[in-house]
Chain A
Amino acid sequence: MNRTSLIIRHEFLHTIKKKGFIILTLALPVLVLLGIGIFQLASSVVTPDVNARRIGYVDHIGGFNPIYEQSAIQLIRMDSEDEATQALTQEEIDEYFVIPADYVNTGIVARYTLQKELAPPPAVSGAIEGFLDSNLLASRQVPRELIGRVLTPVTVVTTTLTPAGVEATDQGGFSSFIIPALFGAMLAIALNVSANYVLQSLGEEKENRLMEILLSSVSPEQLLTGKLLGRGVAGLLQVLLWAISIPILLRFASSTIGGFLNTIELPTGLLLLGIAYFILGYMLFAVVSLAIAAVCSTVREAQGLAPLFTMFAIAPFWFVSLLMIFPNSPVWVVFSIVPFSAPVMIMLRLGLSGVPTWQLVTSMVVLALSVAGGLWLAARLLRIYLLMYGKRPRLREIVKAIRAG
């Protein structure tokens, strides 16, 4: 085994044996599962409670009767407010509303409940609206079928076509966004964590005065290559474990919880792009981390500087709501080309609106060139500052040293 391979092996094993690595690898899929599970459970627990209400009403106009079944909501006629209030306090009904005599002119109904709430639950509002609408239409002899259509006028079913006019494989929607979004989040975490491992590795060796011992056996290039690849393979393994385990867990979850999870799948193209962007993104953040570690005396000092660069990996998430509203804004194209934000931004855009091929190619080329430039810079800084202990050089000194070579 040559020396670079030995360093790769050492760095890989050293990383995957770290408690932090193991915990993070296991924790992320479990947390994602928990999050979705809690969301599903909460919605399934809360919804029946809202639907299964008994709602009283007092009709001062006359002629208002339940025409349609309002799912699990039962509408009960009350003769007066006093009777309704008594029924409410004795918990025979959950709430009641009053249709005043001038309702048709004002559109106002009065609602009474024992619950403190921010706003009427949507299911309740919907039930009252449906009740009033159907009665108003019925009073004008509108046919029963038409009343049903007025109450539920439209369900928009969208089909995305390819430029060739055939049905596209990826039909969009929330289910096709969630995997790229999850993938983007994993990528952001993995890039930060992996870059931090590289930074820690070099920083610790520098802090522990191991540099010179290592350089008496290997060249700086062998040492750097070994670290980049060893830690990179560990990071890639982490992303792959997430990529494989999360869909499996989601499928398991969907059989027990149900809902939209059944529709979620991980397209092969996305997985391949994710891996490509992870490799390029990791290399970029890793070489930046190496350069930072090279000029710092301690790991802590280096870790203080690293977020200046690694925060760009998560920057696309700051704008995710804007991205959902304006998915085709040119601003996102810039984010997709800027190498530090490109890996995560591309993942998010792939789930929302797709990314044109030219942008994918451009962003990958820019990333690759940035990695090459970063490597050149990192190697230069390492040569200059690898054996420096004690104080961190000022930015001006670093620039001068890089120019001098």
Chain B
Amino acid sequence: MPAVQVTDVAKSYEDKVAVSALSFTVSPHEIFGLIGPNGAGKTTTIRMLMDIIQPDSGVVTILGEKPSEATKARLGYLPEERGLYRKLTVIETISYLASLKGMDARSIRARADVLLDQTGMLPQKKKRIEELSKGMAQIIQLIVTIIHDPELVILDEPFSGLDPVNTERVKDLLVDLRDQGKAVILSTHQMNQVEAVCDRILMMDNGRAVLYGALDEIRTTYRGHSVLVQVEGKLPQLPGVVEQREHKDHTELVLNAASTPQQVLRELVNAGVSMDRFEVATPSLNEIFLQVVGGNHE
């Protein structure tokens, strides 16, 4: 059973279409990337999953049920617009927000200690939120999101404002959650983070899905017919190569339709070229993103 099933969902605000004809599924044991430019409809989609707003049409199923107050206890949600009670202490904040998820006081205390320890935040337990740095507060928000052991975790821009150390902590946490069998939806602008942790993605633009599937498959689909080489000395003219593009520390060899990377590699070895790097050019998610939606936002 998918953790999330969205079928032909649409949502409009007055005369603006926020989401249109959107369908996708998210399964347990996966990190699902929800990406797209500003105003693509990502946050509206997430709010519909969370039952904060209702779709105009279409069907949303969360953990096999229609989104409701009952399903909220099984979800963990870290919104993009997020904050905490500045005057409360860390443990008071966690206790109150976790109790709203249905946890009892004893479970909250035990689990809070584990998560605070795991994230290096245990010494801050009795400090007021206003005394914490932005990054620390964000870790507390993440703890609040997962303290009740939700089956589905939805994180909207979880890396914004985090330093590299905390970014790695959050990534490790996401991978842990996936390994525990949770379904994780990650919405972010940081394509490198999506590439690092996501199994499948949905790319949205103007409220519609423009790319959807396994990350590896998408990258293969968008792979160009070229190789990247870094050599000592000058490159000879090679059969099957129609263009050589010089980059800062490597050269991109664009192949004709009949040639393969293996043929080019053989030619280079036969020509006695000393190579430090040879790889089939695979576009980054950022390049695919720009390729797919860039033209619409110039």
Chain A interface residues toward B at CB < 8 A: 1, 3, 6-7, 10, 207-219, 222, 387, 389, 404
Contact = CB atoms under 8 A, between A and B. Distances in A.
Given A212-B47, A212-B79, 14 more contacts: A1-B99, A6-B100, A7-B100, A208-B83, A209-B82, A210-B84, A212-B77, A215-B52, A216-B50, A216-B72, A217-B73, A217-B101, A219-B69, A389-B81
A214 B100 CA distance: 8
A208 B100 contact: no
B101 A213 contact: no
B50 A215 contact: yes
B50 A213 contact: no
Which of A209, A213, A218 has the most C-beta atoms of chain B within 10 angstroms of its own C-beta? A213
A218 B82 contact: no
Contacts of A7: 100
A211 B78 CA distance: 11
Contacts of A6: 96, 99-100
B203 interface: no
A210 B77 CA distance: 12
A213 B148 CA distance: 14
B83 A210 contact: yes
A7 to B, nearest CB: 8
Q: Label chain A's interface by main secondary structure.
A: helix
Given A6-B99, A213-B82, A213-B97, A218 B52 contact: no
Contacts of A217: 72-73, 97, 100-101
B75 interface: yes
A387 B133 CA distance: 25
A208 B69 CA distance: 23
A211 B53 CA distance: 13
Contacts of B102: 3
Interface string B99-114: 1111000000000000
Sorted nearest first, the 5 A-B pairs with minimum C-beta distance are A209-B83, A208-B83, A216-B77, A212-B79, A217-B100
Contacts of B83: 207-210, 213
Contacts of B72: 216-218
Interface residues of B, number: 26
16 contacts: A208-B84, A208-B86, A209-B81, A209-B83, A211-B81, A212-B50, A212-B52, A213-B79, A213-B144, A214-B100, A215-B52, A216-B50, A216-B75, A218-B69, A387-B53, A404-B14
Please classify the interface of chain B as helix (H, G, I), strand (E, B), loop, or mixed, using the class held by over half of its residues: loop
Contact of B85 (A208, A222, A387, A389): A208
Nearest to A212: B79
Interface in B33-55: 47, 50, 52-53
A216 B85 contact: no
Contacts of B84: 208, 210
Contact of B100 (A3, A209, A389): A3
Q: Which residue, B78, B82, B83, B141, has most C-beta atoms of chain A within 10 A?
A: B83
Contacts of A207: 83
Looking at A212, A219, A222, A389, which has the most chain B CB atoms within 10 Å of its CB?
A212
A222 B100 CA distance: 11
Contacts of A211: 81
Contacts of A404: 14
Contacts of A208: 83-86
B53 to A, nearest CB: 8
A404 B102 CA distance: 35
A215 B73 CA distance: 11
A105 to B, nearest CB: 80
A207 B85 CA distance: 10
Nearest to B100: A217
Contacts of B50: 212, 215-216
Contact of A213 (B69, B77, B99): B77
Contacts of A387: 47, 52-53, 81
Q: Which of A1, A6, A217, A218 has the most CB of B within 10 A?
A: A217
Contacts of B97: 213-214, 217
A157 to B, nearest CB: 59
A1 B95 CA distance: 14
Given A217-B72, A387-B52, A212 B100 contact: no
A116 to B, nearest CB: 55
A219 B83 CA distance: 18
A387 B18 CA distance: 15
Contacts of B52: 212, 215-216, 387
A216 B82 CA distance: 12
Contact of A210 (B69, B73, B85): B85
Of the candidates B14, B86, B99, B141, the one having the most CB atoms from chain A within 10 angstroms of its own CB is B99
A6 B99 CA distance: 8
A175 B275 CA distance: 104
Nearest to B129: A208
